Amino acid sequence: MAAMNCPKCGRLFNRVQARVCPACEKLEEEQFQQLRKYIEEEPFANITELADATGVPTKRILRYIREGRLEMSQGLMGELKCSQCGEPIEEGNFCSSCSQKMAANLASSLGVAPPPSAKAPEPEKKKGAGFHVRRS
């Protein structure tokens, strides 16, 4: 196990998979549950309203969307951008076009056949604006 300092509070902890110490991880989970509760009560809130009402920073809300823990509805597209080209995306870090280009480049550098370039099916659009907590 690798010991590291928590980037949030500076405490030393054994990093297994978490990116922060157990105390900060617990705090983040409590904040996520606050978001979840607020979204259930106000499903059409935008990111700014979510941040203001819950105290959870906008950057963290966007991280939860990238991680797939929160889903944006159709009315809020454009809040999250592809890390490569800046195009609007719904979750993750890259749009499908950039993902396909990176996969092709990786396959080329490894000397294997590139993945099929068939476009992934469009995700089902939800009615109305707002957020949804992803059900596992």
First-residue to last-residue Cα distance in the chain: 29
* For residues 103-117, average pLDDT: 80
* For residues 33-62, average pLDDT: 88
pLDDT at 119 over 50: no
Between residues 82 and 135, which one has the greater pLDDT?
Answer: 82
pLDDT per residue over 77-105, tens digit each?
556 788 899 888 877 888 889 999 998 88
pTM: 0.60
The pairing of strands 12-15 and 2-5 is antiparallel
* Ranges of each domain in the chain: 21-112+125-133
Torsion region of 98: left, alpha or beta (phi above 0 gives left; psi -120 to 50 gives alpha):
alpha
Q: What is the pLDDT of residue 89?
A: 82
